[in-house]
Chains A and B, each alone.
Chain A
């Protein structure tokens, strides 16, 4: 008689469950990797390439067909050119079908005429090279309609230039450009200032707001909803409102300051050097304090009230209760929030882009991606900045996961 042992290995049911699990996850995995993993790989690839905005349109042969001459001296003319001034295109051919009723004369090389089918092989077209082909024709029929007939048939061209994207030449030029000189360190400093102060500010404000609302009274729900407005409203609406509010000419904030005697002349809040950075940080705090507030309030309301009752019995004063009871209880959520908000503020793009466009010393790393890729139209350099961001991110998430596994058991 054998003794009963628990089964080892995976049973049939477990296998079936795992299969079903992957089947259910498959759509998500596929779509997310298509739109997240693939672009991430692409951006690393591009960051090593001299790729500019104009390279998005690879060089291609451009053809124009027209009817020239009059009377007996009619000819069809094809004009072919390379759209790029520098890069050669290989395997350029042209083929077209002559319309019915057309009799073509002599056809010169590199073209051959087979019946009504014209085929020309140009081989390689150098950068900026132009070709012209004339085919004398005679036509029986209405000469007015002839032009339309000829130009109506689109000639087909083939040929492709080398794409910068697909070849195997790599260079570190983009990174050299990105790390070049003082600019990069300036950008990094701005990013750090914005991230650190934006995060801490939003946390402190959120804590303050949560303390205010951590008691039930009539209208509490309304005020809670009101304090969430900055976060819920579209960034575009609130950012433009701030720009309007702090406008140096027609902004109410400036008018108010002048009237109150706090400033003698209007201040250009989003246009002066140290002030603009402070203003975008204040905007960040204003827009994201509701989030910390919501989290902290939820945590506060779940603290066991018997602890406070015990503290009351022991005669603890309100401040003592706050420092010795609430804060230790909230420390967990505060640090999780800090880490998450730190990463998210680091990644923020929209807000600064809409407020200052990265001018007046507010260019953070994310804004720099856009600036390099679209304003300077050097996509490769933008990608290099993006790779730098990714590196930072990997470092952050390493810290984050070490920490959050302790906090939330994820």
Chain B
């Protein structure tokens, strides 16, 4: 197996299949026309290309360029790695041909670089395999993450009929101008989405505020003081973490129904923080433990009371952690679905997630549902991308919960 003339064609064949599938899927999603990877032909073409790339190690060897060009052009004949449907535009065909040739050349050269034709050392062989896996990994993960979000955004811009006609055609007609965002304007005008957005926003902010108010002193006490039951306490925080929401939602539903708190924002604001306090407490106490006690002791020696120490020394030192916790709690509250779904029935009091659930009915066209999904996703994504550093830290510290 560890011979250049075997490894090269095998990796080449597999890689060609990956490229052909990727290009076919990408072109299908971009144009809606028919593209199909040909498995057997891809394997054969890839094996040939792999052999040539291993045999001619020069970066721009004529044989390499020749086989790349041949591969690209072969797509026109129907015997290439990618089969192009007959009713495809000339532009799309050209792009496919060039993409097959260029992508093949660049990536094959990268994967099979410095791979001798004959005997391989263990390092050379494993490095080549790892390069292949890396390439495949990037394509695979990017595809599975990007495709659903791409579909979500594009579906929200298309009409139901167009979708039923060709579910792959996501090309948007830019000439229609603002009419493109029809479903969004309708959501905000007819479905009250402006109100939902605002409700979700202030409910999340209130949740963050109340959570911090409760969890900061609690976390400090758990992290700094020695008292009876401290260990039991930190364990029960983790334990409460693990109680499934649906189990709690049932009695909360009953209690809220009996007391009339169902269908009120007050009830939601009362419940959300309690679900997030244990998470926040757990995250914060970990951070407080890491802070040096000497600074606080110096404060105590200078005559500050404990509470003043927390306020004037500990909190300013833990601002980054507070930011992470706030973002994480905001995310939980913003994305919360179950409680909002069970406790809110009155359309004037919906949070955004509850509002989107309402759109999931057969009478409302799909693009409205997807537009609602986009509206719910965009703010949290913007927040996430803008404050990625804090968010990642918060996720790592707190996402024992998920």
- Tell whether A pairs with B: yes
Residues of A at the B interface (CB closer than 8 Å) are 14, 17-18, 20-22, 24-25, 27-28, 31-32, 34-36, 38-40, 42-43, 46, 56, 208-209, 211-212, 221, 223-238, 240-242, 244-245, 247, 249-252, 254-256, 259-261, 286, 288, 291, 294-295, 298, 317-319, 340-341, 343-344, 346-350, 354, 366, 369-370, 373, 379, 382-383, 386, 389-390, 393, 396-397, 400-401, 410
> Could you say which of B142, B220, B392 has the most chain A C-beta atoms within 10 Å of its C-beta?
B392
The contact of A288 among B376, B400, B402, by CB within 8 Å, is B402
Segment of B5-13, B184-192, B238-246 engaged in the interface with chain A: B238-246
Give a binary string over B362-402; 1 marks a CB under 8 Å from any A CB, 0 the rest: 00001001101110110011001100100110011001111
The contact of B137 among A38, A39, A209, by CB within 8 Å, is A209
Pairwise interchain contact B151-A229, C-beta atoms closer than 8 A: no
Select from chain B the residue with minimum beta-carbon distance to A233: B377
Q: Which residues of A contact B208 (CB under 8 A)?
A: none
Cα distance, A209 to B139, chains bound together (Å): 11
Would you mind naming 30 contact pairs between A and B with Cβ atoms under 8 Å apart? A17-B227, A18-B227, A20-B225, A21-B222, A21-B230, A35-B248, A35-B271, A35-B275, A36-B274, A39-B247, A40-B243, A56-B254, A229-B149, A230-B148, A232-B380, A233-B380, A234-B373, A241-B149, A242-B148, A244-B366, A250-B167, A256-B168, A259-B168, A260-B36, A291-B399, A294-B396, A317-B126, A347-B242, A349-B246, A410-B238
Known pairs A241-B152, A389-B247 / 16 extra A-B pairs, C-beta < 8 Å: A21-B230, A31-B214, A31-B274, A35-B271, A39-B255, A43-B251, A227-B141, A229-B381, A233-B335, A237-B152, A237-B372, A242-B148, A249-B164, A259-B168, A396-B242, A410-B238
- Nearest chain A CB to B196's CB is how many angstroms away? 12
- Nearest chain A CB to B39's CB is how many angstroms away? 10
Cα distance, A286 to B140, chains bound together (Å): 12
Q: Which residues of B contact A319 (CB under 8 A)?
A: 126
Select from chain B the residue with minimum beta-carbon distance to A336: B400
Pairwise interchain contact A410-B234, C-beta atoms closer than 8 A: yes
Pairwise interchain contact B248-A40, C-beta atoms closer than 8 A: yes
The contact of B221 among A21, A43, A250, A318, by CB within 8 Å, is A21
Segment of B23-31, B61-69, B94-102, B314-322 engaged in the interface with chain A: B23-31
Select from chain B the residue with minimum beta-carbon distance to A350: B337
Cα distance, A235 to B245, chains bound together (Å): 15
Select from chain A the residue with minimum beta-carbon distance to B227: A18
Residues of B at the A interface (CB closer than 8 Å) are 24-25, 28-29, 34-37, 122-123, 126-127, 130, 134, 137-138, 141-142, 144-149, 151-152, 155, 160, 163-164, 166-168, 170, 213-215, 217-218, 220-222, 225-228, 230, 233-235, 238-240, 242-248, 250-252, 254-255, 257-258, 270-271, 273-275, 277-278, 281, 306, 331, 334-335, 337-338, 353, 356-357, 360, 366, 369-370, 372-374, 376-377, 380-381, 384-385, 388, 391-392, 395-396, 399-402
Majority-rule SS of A interface residues: helix
The contact of A229 among B25, B145, B273, by CB within 8 Å, is B145
Pairwise interchain contact A32-B258, C-beta atoms closer than 8 A: no
Q: Which residues of A contact B278 (CB under 8 A)?
A: 32
> Could you say which of A27, A235, A242, A244 has the most chain B C-beta atoms within 10 Å of its C-beta?
A244
Q: Which residues of A contact B25 (CB under 8 A)?
A: 256
Pairwise interchain contact B145-A21, C-beta atoms closer than 8 A: no
Pairwise interchain contact B401-A344, C-beta atoms closer than 8 A: yes
Q: Which residues of A contact B242 (CB under 8 A)?
A: 343-344, 347, 393, 396-397, 400
The contact of B227 among A21, A229, A232, by CB within 8 Å, is A21
Pairwise interchain contact A35-B274, C-beta atoms closer than 8 A: yes
Cα distance, A380 to B141, chains bound together (Å): 44
- Nearest chain B CB to A339's CB is how many angstroms away? 10
With contacts A35-B271, A235-B337 taken as known, whether A259 is within 8 angstroms of B149 at the C-beta atoms is: no
Pairwise interchain contact B168-A255, C-beta atoms closer than 8 A: yes
Cα distance, A228 to B395, chains bound together (Å): 10
Cα distance, A244 to B167, chains bound together (Å): 10
Pairwise interchain contact A366-B225, C-beta atoms closer than 8 A: no
Pairwise interchain contact A36-B134, C-beta atoms closer than 8 A: no
Pairwise interchain contact A24-B360, C-beta atoms closer than 8 A: no
- Nearest chain A CB to B378's CB is how many angstroms away? 10
- Nearest chain A CB to B19's CB is how many angstroms away? 15
Pairwise interchain contact A32-B168, C-beta atoms closer than 8 A: no
Pairwise interchain contact A21-B126, C-beta atoms closer than 8 A: no
Q: Which residues of A contact B149 (CB under 8 A)?
A: 229, 233, 241
Select from chain B the residue with minimum beta-carbon distance to A254: B167
- Nearest chain B CB to A195's CB is how many angstroms away? 12
Select from chain A the residue with minimum beta-carbon distance to B331: A232
Q: Which residues of B contact A382 (CB under 8 A)?
A: 250
- Nearest chain A CB to B273's CB is how many angstroms away? 8
Q: Which residues of B contact A341 (CB under 8 A)?
A: 402
Q: What are the nearest 6 A-B pairs in CB distance?
A: A347-B244, A237-B373, A39-B251, A18-B227, A21-B225, A24-B217
With contacts A24-B218, A40-B247 taken as known, whether A238 is within 8 angstroms of B391 at the C-beta atoms is: no
Pairwise interchain contact A245-B402, C-beta atoms closer than 8 A: no
Select from chain A the residue with minimum beta-carbon distance to B391: A232
With contacts A17-B226, A240-B360, A260-B37 taken as known, whether A317 is within 8 angstroms of B385 at the C-beta atoms is: no
Cα distance, A235 to B247, chains bound together (Å): 19
Pairwise interchain contact A24-B338, C-beta atoms closer than 8 A: no
- Nearest chain A CB to B134's CB is how many angstroms away? 6
With contacts A27-B218, A230-B145 taken as known, whether A410 is within 8 angstroms of B243 at the C-beta atoms is: no
Cα distance, A229 to B384, chains bound together (Å): 9
- Nearest chain A CB to B113's CB is how many angstroms away? 15
Pairwise interchain contact B151-A252, C-beta atoms closer than 8 A: yes
Cα distance, A222 to B155, chains bound together (Å): 25
- Nearest chain B CB to A31's CB is how many angstroms away? 6
With contacts A232-B331, A234-B377 taken as known, whether A318 is within 8 angstroms of B248 at the C-beta atoms is: no
- Nearest chain A CB to B101's CB is how many angstroms away? 22
Q: Which residues of A contact B214 (CB under 8 A)?
A: 27-28, 31
With contacts A25-B217, A212-B138, A244-B370 taken as known, whether A225 is within 8 angstroms of B353 at the C-beta atoms is: no
Pairwise interchain contact B376-A234, C-beta atoms closer than 8 A: yes
Cα distance, A27 to B356, chains bound together (Å): 34
With contacts A240-B360, A250-B163 taken as known, whether A386 is within 8 angstroms of B402 at the C-beta atoms is: no
